[in-house]
Amino acid sequence: MLTGMKITEAVDGLRQKKFSAEELTKAHVNAINKLNDRINAYITVTADAAIEQAKAADQKLAAGDAPALTGIPLAIKDLFCTKGVKTTAASRILENFVPPYESTVTANLLRDGAVFLGKVNLDEFAMGSGNLNSAFGAVENPWKRQGEDTFLVPGGSSGGSAAAVAAQMAMGATGTDTGGSIRQPAAYCGITGIKPTYGRCSRWGIIAYASSLDQAGPMGKSVEDCAIMLQSMAGFDPKDSTSVDKEVPDYRAACNRSLKGMKVGIPMEYRVPGLSPEIEAVWQQGINWLKEAGCEIVDVSLPHTKHGLATYYIIAPAEASSNLARYDGVRYGRRVDGASLDELYANTRGAGFGDEVKRRILMGTYVLSAGYYDAYYLRAQKVRKLINQDFMNVFDKVDVLLTPTAPTAAFAKGENQEDPVQMYLNDIFTVPASMAGVPGLALPAGLSSQGLPLGLQLLGRPFGEETLFAVGSAMEKAANFTHKPTLRAGGSL
Ligand code: GLN
């Protein structure tokens, strides 16, 4: 089946004329038509435009002038501005926003020939860990627990991206990761994703959540597929002052590097209470695989890990409260009128934002307010520096760290929702790397006893993505994770 292929296979198949880009795109459009009502991964499907892009791709292939992603159908998280195509951030406040420009990352993918199938669902403004906070409804994880018919979440905030790839409604997807939003949904949906080093991909044209943490990255069916996508997405952009002017290496070539002599750190602070024994077992399995591949395993300590979540949930809301001030009903987006300007703001923001976004704005405004700035925001910034220092110290001794991606497998809608903090605990393993700005790759490593994917995470030095691709590829071979999701209520891919 065309939709069952990896990008690496499709790239070859297109060049060998086994099928056309138009056929490949149409197969994915059919999959979307069949499954999207159930999974709700796509907010906007751009089928006609995709077929036009695919026809153009076929011409390029015929002319022998086809860049790496020519004809490859992708899903775009609805946080990337796409010229002429509605971009909502899964919020009512941007429900009808049509950007007049293209984000740098999506422009790079288009330059390299990718076909865009549409815009995929997320937690509103990327705030969440279950894709339950979308104004356009929850996304369903295509995986289910054996012997149960429970609605499981795909993770968040890039839940639509992860579900679309897992359900074969796209060959790959873009995601963004502020505190784990690429890695945690990848883990819950049994796919691979990488959050690159902060500054590796341009943030220009991506709707901002927390600017000092936000990073774009690819989500795909394999490590090599992610390498191909990141190759295109990454690069210096003068329009983003935090994007780094550093050459993009050949990530695909890095996938085949030998691991001989590499040192892999196991951070003791990640053995947290409440870690599922099954995840602990997969972690041990991962350690064994890397030993067999010739790596040396070293126990290491990242002593400030325990402050990661608390400080993240100060800094991220602080930046969000400032970034989201622009949604005032005056310049763009939805407007709800009022008798005065203040009332117009209040009415617009009251109607436009969902509960979690309001909570973050309140938290963020509080920690930035005159009386509390030093006690919360400034202190959190100092702790952030210590977290970063922990990683830099450890990377003097080891090349890469191996940890679980999330403390549990995918949870059910309704679980983890007793209070908002319960949901925040999901990010315990992903947030520290975000705070430090270092890259992290998540990949599926095994199945739980209930038949759900369990993920492992590799963390690397700043701009050490090649090492992550090399180690990730070796682990992927050892794990040989070929399981496919079975949908609820007798559905099938
Ligand atoms: N779950 C985290 C949050 O809600 C991370 C989200 C993200 O990475 N965008 O902030």
For residue 220, the CA-to-ligand 1 centroid distance in Å is: 19
Q: Report the alpha-carbon distance of residue 397 to residue 106 in Å, rounded.
A: 37
Pocket test for ligand 1, best of 181, 211, 323 (most atoms within 8 A of CB): 181
Separation CA 319–CA 219 (nearest Å): 25
Helices 379-394 and 308-323, interaxial angle, to 10°? 120
How many Cβ atoms are within 10 Å of 389's Cβ, its own excluded? 14
How far, in Å, is the centroid of ligand 1 from the Cα of 338?
Answer: 33
Length reported for the chain = 493
Distance between start and end Cα atoms, the chain: 11
157 as an active site residue: the answer is yes
> Which residue out of 125, 427, 428 has the highest number of ligand 1 atoms within 8 Å of its CB and is therefore the one to mutate?
427
Q: Are 382 and 96 in contact (CB under 8 A)?
A: no
Distance in Å, CA 157 to ligand 1 centroid? 6
Atom nearest to 313 CA in ligand 1: 10
Residue 20 is a catalytic residue: no
Report the C-alpha gap between 84 and 97 in whole angstroms.
9
Q: What is the pLDDT of residue 273?
A: 83
pLDDT of residue 58: 98
Q: What is the pLDDT along the chain (493 residues), one digit of tens a residue?
A: 999 999 999 999 999 999 999 999 999 999 999 999 999 999 999 999 999 999 999 999 999 989 999 999 999 999 999 999 999 999 999 999 999 999 999 999 999 999 999 999 999 999 999 999 999 999 999 999 999 999 999 999 999 999 999 999 999 999 999 999 999 999 999 999 999 999 999 999 999 999 999 999 999 999 999 999 999 999 999 999 999 999 999 999 999 999 999 999 999 999 988 788 999 999 999 999 999 999 999 999 999 999 999 999 999 999 999 999 999 999 888 999 999 999 999 999 999 999 999 999 999 999 999 999 999 999 999 999 999 999 999 999 999 999 999 999 999 998 877 778 888 888 999 999 999 999 999 999 999 999 999 999 999 999 999 999 999 999 999 999 999 999 987 778 8
Look at ligand 1, atom 10, and give the residue with the nearest C-alpha.
127
Q: Which residues have C-beta atoms less than 6 Å from ligand 1?
A: 126-129, 157, 177-181, 209, 316, 427
**CB atoms near residue 49 (< 10 Å):** 16
Choose, from 181, 222, 321, 473, the residue flagged as catalytic.
181
Q: Pick the atom of ligand 1 nearest to 434's CA.
A: 8
Tokens at residue 452, please? 């759900």
Distance 86 CA to ligand 1 centre (A): 23
Top mutation candidate among 122, 134, 209 for ligand 1, by most atoms within 8 Å of CB? 209
CA dihedral of 7, 242, 206, 429, whole degrees rounded to 10:
70
Q: How much distance in Å is there from the Cα of 308 to the middle of ligand 1?
A: 13
Give the ligand 1 atom nearest the CA of 316. Answer: 10
- Please state the φ and ψ torsions of residue 414, each to the nearest 5 degrees: 105, -35
pLDDT of residue 117: 98
Look up tokens 């969902």; give the residue: 354
Residue 3's alpha-carbon distances to 97, 409, 426, in angstroms, are 31, 25, 31
Distance CA 69, CA 111 (A): 9
Q: Is the pTM of this model over 0.95?
A: yes
Q: How far apart are CA 474 and CA 459, in angstroms?
A: 15
Instruction: Give the contacts of 255 (CB within 8 A, at least 6 positions apart).
Output: 223, 224, 227, 469, 470, 472, 473
> What distance in Å separates the CA atoms of residue 17 and residue 38, rounded to the nearest whole number?
33
User: In the sheet that 73-77 helps form, which strands lie side by side, from edge to edge?
Assistant: 42-45, 115-120, 73-77, 172-177, 215-220, 192-195, 440-447, 453-460, 400-404, 263-267, 296-300
Please provide the DSSP assignment of 97-138 as one string.
---SS--HHHHHHHHTT-EEEEEE--SGGG--SSS---TT-P
Sign of CA dihedral 187, 191, 196, 200: negative
Torsion of CA 312, 313, 319, 323, to 10 degrees: 130
Q: Who contacts 76 (Cβ-Cβ below 8 Å, separation ≥6)?
A: 82, 106, 116, 118, 119, 120, 173, 174
